[in-house]
């Protein structure tokens, strides 16, 4: 793919590199969004996404960022206090959205780069929210994009259910790159964004809600209108959206989901796991050579889609990112509390070891001051 001269190959943690074929699909002529042609397009996209999310439930096509889907989850959640598991900037955003929706919210924080410990989560669920009230819902980020930490959403969902709570999962940099089994794991609400591991342009969010989640939301008076999960469910059953969809982006999604279906979701997960292993070997090689870098999360808790690399004292993250750009690759600086001390490499979407290794070589040159 040919990029404009001022940019290089994208290894940002989002937006990710988008194939030319997918970009070209966006020039498709407009079609009526209340007609058979659109309904056929919608149905094809949903079928593709059901294979990605591993669900038989409808997948909502939302013309907004993933933050909109996070608010949908909060507004549709059962009445009662919410437990927000925070281990980085984006899990903190989920908690802030809950608070801004006037939900009583208790934050369980662990250091950036860690994942929520199941013992801590269970203790919090046992103790409850304000005045000991049982939690109605738990929010958790699957792949924390600011740190590269991967949380065990299956185990956390099981814990939540054991204590009578629903679990709301942000899998923005998880879905499409890390295993997500929506139905088999009993996920109540799981969401993602188009511009991450699905390798689409920004502007779409995709979400799945369990039948039980929608049923309890139907009696809630605070779920709003624009992000009403009940209305999305009703329209999804007719292969429609409640409001005008971003047609050009959906044309792109149609093309990309066909390619994902051809690759197979299992093979896609395996390719992302291989890119993480490649990055881990590269970091170990730098350390063996005397450069004091390291991956922020512990082994076994690392996302296969994004790696956050801690820099030794004296190395400026902004300068490293700028030097890598001069060498033809766009990576990310640190984010949130780790902004000054880390860099981030988004090895996701349609990338492979063949495209990742030259990027890592360029980052290595920058780290060595070359």
pLDDT of residue 44: 98
Q: Which two tokens stand for residue 310?
A: 């801690």
Q: What is the pLDDT of residues 118-170, one digit of tens each?
A: 999 999 999 998 888 999 999 999 999 999 999 999 999 999 999 999 999 99
Contact assessment for residue 298 and residue 145, using Cβ atoms and an 8 Å cutoff:
no
pLDDT of residue 220: 87
Residue 3 has pLDDT above 50, yes or no: no
Q: What is the pLDDT of residues 80-115, one digit of tens each?
A: 999 999 999 999 999 999 999 999 999 999 999 999
Domains assigned to the chain: 9-17+264-367 (3.90.1150.10), 20-262 (3.40.640.10)
Backbone torsions φ then ψ of 213, nearest 5 degrees: -65, -45
Q: Which two tokens stand for residue 350?
A: 């349609």
Residue 7 has pLDDT above 80, yes or no: no
pTM (predicted TM-score): 0.96
* Distance from C-alpha of 196 to C-alpha of 275, rounded to nearest angstrom: 15
Q: Which residues contact 150 (CB under 8 A, 6 or more apart)?
A: 115, 142, 143, 144, 174, 178, 297, 301, 302, 303, 304
Q: What is the pLDDT of residues 63-80, one digit of tens each?
A: 999 999 999 999 999 999
pLDDT of residue 222: 86
Q: What value does the CA radius of gyration of the chain take, rounded to a whole number of Å?
A: 20
The arithmetic mean of pLDDT across residues 218-240, rounded, is 95
Work out whether the CA dihedral 198, 65, 68, 42 comes out positive or negative: negative
pLDDT of residue 370: 84
pLDDT of residue 8: 66
Percent of the chain with pLDDT over 90: 95
pLDDT of residue 1: 38
Q: Which residues contact 283 (CB under 8 A, 6 or more apart)?
A: 293, 294, 295, 307, 309
Q: What is the pLDDT of residues 281-293, one digit of tens each?
A: 999 999 999 999 9
pLDDT of residue 9: 92
Helix (H) or strand (E) holding 185: none
* Distance from C-alpha of 48 to C-alpha of 51, rounded to nearest angstrom: 5
Q: What is the pLDDT of residues 307-354, one digit of tens each?
A: 999 999 999 999 999 999 999 999 999 999 999 999 999 999 999 999
Look-up of token digits 């920058």:
366
Q: What's the angle, vertex CA 30, arms to CA 25 and CA 32, rounded to 5?
A: 130
Residue 4 has pLDDT above 50, yes or no: no
pLDDT of residue 5: 40
């Amino acid at each position: 793919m040919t990029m404009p001269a001022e940019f290089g190959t994208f290894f940002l943690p989002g937006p990710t590199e988008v194939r030319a074929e997918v970009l070209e699909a966006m020039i498709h002529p407009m079609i009526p969004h209340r007609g058979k042609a659109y309904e056929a397009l919608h149905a094809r996209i949903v079928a593709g996404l059901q294979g990605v999310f591993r669900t038989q439930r409808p997948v909502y096509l939302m013309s907004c960022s993933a933050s909109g889907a996070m608010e949908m989850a909060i507004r549709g959640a059962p009445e009662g206090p919410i437990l927000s598991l925070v281990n980085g900037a984006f899990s903190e955003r989920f908690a802030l959205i809950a608070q801004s929706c006037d939900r009583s919210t208790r934050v369980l924080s662990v250091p950036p780069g860690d994942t929520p410990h199941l013992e801590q989560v269970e203790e919090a669920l046992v103790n409850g929210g304000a005045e000991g009230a049982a939690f109605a819902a738990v929010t958790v980020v699957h792949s924390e994009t600011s740190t590269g930490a991967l949380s065990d959403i299956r185990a956390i969902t099981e814990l939540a259910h054991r204590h009578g709570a629903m679990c709301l999962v942000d899998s923005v940099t998880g879905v499409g790159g890390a295993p997500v089994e929506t139905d088999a794991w009993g996920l109540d609400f799981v969401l993602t964004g188009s511009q991450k591991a699905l390798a689409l342009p920004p502007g779409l969010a995709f979400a799945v809600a369990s039948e039980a989640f929608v049923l309890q939301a139907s009696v809630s008076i605070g779920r709003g209108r624009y992000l009403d999960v009940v209305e999305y469910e009703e329209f999804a059953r007719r292969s429609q959206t409640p409001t005008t969809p971003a047609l050009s982006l959906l044309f792109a999604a149609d093309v990309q989901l066909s390619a994902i279906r051809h690759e197979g979701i299992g093979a896609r997960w395996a390719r992302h796991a291989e890119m993480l292993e490649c990055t881990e070997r590269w970091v170990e090689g730098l350390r063996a050579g005397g450069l004091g870098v390291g991956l922020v999360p512990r082994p076994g808790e690392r996302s296969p889609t994004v790696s956050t690399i801690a820099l030794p004292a004296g190395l400026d993250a902004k300068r490293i990112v700028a030097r890598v750009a001069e060498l033809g690759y766009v990576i990310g600086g640190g984010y949130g509390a780790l902004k000054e001390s880390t860099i981030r490499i988004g090895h996701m979407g349609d990338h492979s070891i063949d495209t990742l290794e030259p990027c890592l070589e360029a980052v290595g040159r920058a780290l060595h001051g070359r």
